Structure 1
Amino acid sequence: MALILVTGASTGLGRDTANALADGGHDVVIHVRNRARLTGADGTARWKDVVIGDLAELDEIHDVARQARRFGRFDAVIHNAGTMRSPEAGIVNTVAPYMLTVLMDKPGTLIYLSSAMHRSGSTDLRRLGTGTASYSDSKLWVTTLALAVASRWEGTSSHAVDPGWVPTRMGGAGAPDDLAAGHQTQVWLATHHDVRPGTGGYWHHRQVQTPHPASQDEDFQDRLIRALESHTGVPLV
């Protein structure tokens, strides 16, 4: 049985991921933006606990990390929360995963939700500071973050996952990919120890793919980490 945190778990892929993990007998802590997001007949009964906070606000990201630290070291953290809206995309999709990664105890496994759209993202990190990052930018950056952490944190596995374009509220009803398959890679990575590569993978439907070259470039990884440290005042150590 593993202790696992899933962010953005009120609906969509996050809720599907949390449900699958709970059904597998794991202790699941879910994150939701606000208490009103806790809907459905099951309420909070199936979760070990709930942490609450708006990941578009730096102060609330700090508070979510504080709440999560009460549980000690997680076996896995799944950074699922995301938005396609600007200007929140850069903060929710990149800054929040970075801050939670740094401010919480190092888990056994880190999983960051990416997207095939990361391939059209920009390496212009000035967009981070100006709040002009697009969804594609933010997904390139969080993919880069996942691979940067993989090379820096011995003892913690770090992966990025493209769940596909699935028919969630964010993906839209016409999205062509399989919703049922959208959460399965995250669940598998969080609960299996025989994954190859053991860290630094970019995954789609449990298959390793080659991400945007910038995400694997050590110079760009360094620039991204420095930009995130400067933006948040929180160093990656």
Structure 2
Amino acid sequence: MARIFITGSADGLGQMAAKILVGQGHGVVLHARNEKRGREAMAAVPGAETVLSADLSVIAEMKKLAGDVNALGAFDAVIHNAALGYQEQGRGNTPDGLPSVFAVNSLAPYVLTCLIKQPQRLVYMSSGLHTQGDVSLKDLTWKERRWSGYAAYADSKLHDLILSLAVARHWPDVLSNAVEPGWVATKMGGPNAPDNLQKGAETQSWLAVSEDVATKVSGRYFYHQREKNFLSGASDEGTQERFLKGCEDISGINFAIKSK
């Protein structure tokens, strides 16, 4: 059986994926933004190994979380599920001076990818709204643009896709893919979202552990356990390198490029 770490698994799709994986007999480590949420997560997912707490809007806590994960030993898969929605708050600058949506949705997956010991599989949560993101990657942290929570969220989901593709290209022995869960009825999606919530969670867990031939791919974009086309600009190597360099400049953490 596999061992999986899931960010943002105190509720929503992350918690649902954790329950699926625990039910299948896999080892699952949860993540919540603070200890209170962590206790709630452990109560909601009986059978999970443990929970790690970290506020992913703060760079120092991203780094600490990576260290805590590594202290628990090797993982077969990491699901980067944690995210803030554009309706949850405004710009919300973090202690590092970053918009919270960028810090949690874009930078945290980059930092954790760089610092957590490489698993066999990586799963990144994107969104259909990535197609509305700014592929130029100018002004990643919204210092010059007029703030738009909707646009910042769309940018962040494009960033997650770009990161997953960059990892797939640079780390050929790791299966790295992105998932579009659909417009589902989570805290982020709202109660009237029409898409299949269960399918969103199932696709995460399926990519993390399944031995199906369809999961033994890298650099792909999935919706409800099927590959789906994505914004072509995300495949551009120059775009990917600009994103990696931008995150390195902000976080001070270098992305390790493996020789092929």
User: Taking structure 1 as the reference length, what is the TM-score of the superposition?
Assistant: 0.95
In structure 2, what residue type is equivalent to 1:174?
N
Q: Is the 8 A contact 1:129 1:231 kept in 2?
A: no
Cα shift at 1:69: 0.6
Q: Is the 8 A contact 1:51 1:67 kept in 2?
A: yes
Which runs of 5 or more residues in structure 2 are unaligned?
92-98
- Summarize the Cα distance change of 1:18–1:34 in structure 2 as closer, same or farther, 3 Å threshold: same
Inter-partner Cα distance in structure 1 for 2:202 and 2:225:
8
SS of residue matched to 1:78 = strand
Q: Is the 8 A contact 1:53 1:61 kept in 2?
A: yes
Cα shift at 1:189: 0.6
Cα deviation code 1:161-188 (max 9, x no counterpart) = 0001100111100101011111011111
Matched, 1:146 2:164: yes
Q: Is the 8 A contact 1:3 1:26 kept in 2?
A: yes
Pairing 1:19-38 to 2, within 5 Å after superposition? 19-37=19-37, 38=39
Task: Tell me which residue corresponds to 2:123.
Answer: 111
Inter-partner Cα distance in structure 1 for 2:141 and 2:43:
40
- Summarize the Cα distance change of 1:41–1:68 in structure 2 as closer, same or farther, 3 Å threshold: closer
Pairing 1:1-237 to 2, within 5 Å after superposition? 1-37=1-37, 38-39=39-40, 42=43, 45-85=46-86, 86=91, 87-130=99-142, 134-193=152-211, 194-195=213-214, 198-237=217-256
- Summarize the Cα distance change of 1:223–1:93 in structure 2 as closer, same or farther, 3 Å threshold: same
In structure 2, what residue type is equivalent to 1:11?
D
Which shifted more, 4-13 or 123-132?
A: 123-132
Cα deviation code 1:39-94 (max 9, x no counterpart) = 27836752111111000111111111111011222100000000024321111111
Cα shift at 1:129: 3.4
Q: Is the 8 A contact 2:9 2:41 kept in 1?
A: no
Q: Is the 8 A contact 2:41 2:51 kept in 1?
A: no
Q: Is the 8 A contact 1:203 1:209 kept in 2?
A: yes
Inter-partner Cα distance in structure 2 for 1:34 and 1:41:
12
Q: Is the 8 A contact 2:176 2:219 kept in 1?
A: yes
In structure 2, what residue type is equivalent to 1:42?
A
- Summarize the Cα distance change of 1:165–1:106 in structure 2 as closer, same or farther, 3 Å threshold: same
Q: Is the 8 A contact 1:79 1:97 kept in 2?
A: yes
- Summarize the Cα distance change of 1:44–1:163 in structure 2 as closer, same or farther, 3 Å threshold: closer
Cα shift at 1:196: 5.2
Cα shift at 1:214: 1.4
Inter-partner Cα distance in structure 2 for 1:196 and 1:166:
23
**What's the % identity of the aligned pairs?**
39
Inter-partner Cα distance in structure 2 for 1:179 and 1:115:
13
User: Taking structure 2 as the reference length, what is the TM-score of the superposition?
Assistant: 0.87
Which shifted more, 173-182 or 113-122?
A: 173-182
Which runs of 5 or more residues in structure 1 are unaligned?
none
